[in-house]
Amino acid sequence: MQKISFLLGVALLLAACQKTARPDVENKATETQNRKCASEEVLQAQLAADPSLRQRMKDIEDFTQNLIARGKLTRTEAVSGTVPVVVHVLYNTPQQNISDAQIKSQVDVLNEDFNLQNKDISGVPSVFVPREGTIGFRFQLAQTIRKQTSVTTWLPNDDMKYSSKGGDDVVDPDHKLNLWVCNLGDGLLGYAQFPGGKPATDGVVIGYFCFGRTGGKLEPRFDKGRTATHEIGHWMNLRHIWGDKTCGNDLVDDTPQATTYNFGCPSFPKYNSCNSGEIEMTMNYMDYTDDACMYMFTKGQSNRMNAVFFNGGPRSAFFQ
């Protein structure tokens, strides 16, 4: 799909994350709920609080598009290394204090999903197999921080990222991916901060109930650790597959247009209702489908993610 201007891309993002109501997890949420994120709310709040963020995001997008256009990311040596991961476990009840095994399982999922090592990659339809992409670097657990808190439910206002608000402060965001695992309310599974935001809030927030693939989780729809895969995709500058607008643009060349988000497990093939009439890539990690029905990134998405870490990119310090 053709590139659109960055400012329009931001406008599309502000329309993101369609709401699907569900009860709070502590009040017996069930598998009937649908995936829900908070990108719109978080980005709007950040843009309102820091008007300079818009220009920083535009600069990052210009850098990304120029890098891809010059073919710099076609080299396998473009980015290599390990992304250290810090997991902040914020718990109010024993159930929310997830196990080390559950944390390990999530890191394993990330290394599989981002490197074409997930077992369900074999389910990619033949028409999309040539587009499968891998990032070429790995994730490694660097630190687990456990903190009991009096906060029973967290909202997408970044309070969990501050010790002064009952959460836990970010750890070395220039060199480490911070994941906050907590009891998210308002029907959320997770949310992420895009590149360009302030360091104090940089990272990803995931509900403890859908983190990893072992322990207390929402079965059977969100029990394979794909919420973190989806949200870390945002942290590495990926947009939703539908471009956050009806027949929108996700700024990636090799992802077909999607009419809108998809829930559950859509039957294949599903054609969009846009002018192109293409088959939608509902199995892409950046859709809203269930964990078992999302299992691929594309080469174009891999290029965007690699650009973030490339020399001169917003997260280049990770590999320096």
pLDDT per position as a tens digit, 257-316: 999 999 999 999 999 999 888 999 999 999 999 999 999 999 999 999 999 999 899 999
Give the side-chain half-sphere CA count within 13 A for 313: 29
The confidence score (pLDDT) of residue 42 equals 86
pLDDT per position as a tens digit, 3-50: 334 333 433 333 333 333 333 334 333 445 788 777 767 877 898 999
**β-strand 204-207 against 82-91: which pairing, if any?**
unpaired
Residue ranges per domain, the chain?
6-313
pLDDT per position as a tens digit, 42-76: 877 898 999 999 999 999 999 999 999 988 776 44
Average pLDDT on 194-200 reads 96
Q: Are 83 and 137 in contact (CB under 8 A)?
A: yes
The confidence score (pLDDT) of residue 78 equals 53
The confidence score (pLDDT) of residue 41 equals 76
The confidence score (pLDDT) of residue 40 equals 65
pLDDT per position as a tens digit, 205-222: 999 999 999 876 777 899
CA distance 19 to 22: 9
Q: What is the DSSP letter of 226?
A: H
The confidence score (pLDDT) of residue 319 equals 85
**β-strand 190-192 against 204-207: which pairing, if any?**
antiparallel
Q: Which CATH architecture has domain 6-313?
A: 3-Layer(aba) Sandwich (3.40)
Q: Which of 31, 231, 278, 280 is catalytic?
A: 231
Task: Determine whether 231 is an active site residue.
Answer: yes
The confidence score (pLDDT) of residue 260 equals 95
Beta bridge partners of 177: 85
CA distance 294 to 289: 6
The residue among 219, 222, 209 whose CA lies nearest residue 26 is: 209
CA distance 66 to 71: 9
Encoding tokens for residue 140?
A: 């490694």
pLDDT at 90 > cutoff 70:
yes
Encoding tokens for residue 296?
A: 């691929």
**Entry pTM:** 0.89
The confidence score (pLDDT) of residue 134 equals 94
The confidence score (pLDDT) of residue 95 equals 95
The confidence score (pLDDT) of residue 17 equals 36
Sign of CA dihedral 167, 202, 214, 30: positive
